[in-house]
A and B are shown apart, each in its own frame.
Chain A
Amino acid sequence: MRARIVAVLNQKGGVGKTTTSVNLTHALAKLGKKITVIDFDPQSHLTVSLGVVDPQKGGIDEVLLEGRNLAKQLIPVRENLNLVIAGPRLQEIEQLVDGGARRGDLLRKALHEGNRDEDFIFIDCPPSSGVLVANALFAADEILVPMTSDYLALQGLSHLMGTIKKFESALKKSYKFSLVMSRYIPTRRMSKDVLSVIQKYFPGQILATTIRETALLAECPSFGKTIFEYRPGCRSARDFTALAKDFLEGRMM
Chain B
Amino acid sequence: MSFSALDENWLSPSQRAQIDSWPDPVYNFAENPISEDGFQLGRKLFYDPMLSRDQTISCANCHLQYTGFTHVDHAVSHGIEGRKGTRNSPALINLAWNSSFHWDGGVNHLDVQAINPIEHFAEMDNTLENVLNYVNGNPEYRSAFFHAFGDSMATSKTLLKAFSQFTTSLVSSDSKYDQYIRGEVGFTEQEKNGLRLFDNFCNRCHTAPLFNSNRYASNGLPIDTMYNDVGRYAITKQGSDSLQFRIPTLRNIEHTYPYMHDGRFRKLREVVKHYAEELDRSNPYLSEELKSEMKLSENEQKDLIAFLCTLTDRTFLYNRRYSFPN
Q: Do A and B bind each other?
A: no
Binding site for B on A (CB under 8 A): none
Binding site for A on B (CB under 8 A): none
